Amino acid sequence: MADRFERELMRGSLDLMVLSVLADGANYGYLIQKRVREASGQTVKLEAGTLYPLLHRLEASRAIRSKWDDSTGRKRKWYELTAAGRRRVRAQAAQWNQYVDCIQQLLKPALAALPAK
Which spans of this chain sit near DNA (rule: CB under 7 A)? Answer: 1, 7-8, 10-12, 14-15, 28-31, 46-50, 52-57, 72-78
Q: Among 50-58, 63-71, 72-80, 107-115, which window interacts with its own copies (CB under 8 A)?
A: 107-115
DSSP H/E element including 108: helix 83-113
Q: How many CB atoms lie within 10 A of CB 89?
A: 19
Q: Please say whether the beta carbons of 79 and 70 come within 8 A.
A: no
Beta bridge partners, 80, equal: 65
Q: Which residues bind its own copies (CB under 8 A)?
A: 2, 5-13, 15-17, 19-21, 23-25, 35-36, 39-41, 43-44, 86, 89-93, 95-96, 98-100, 102-103, 105-107, 109-111, 113-115, 117
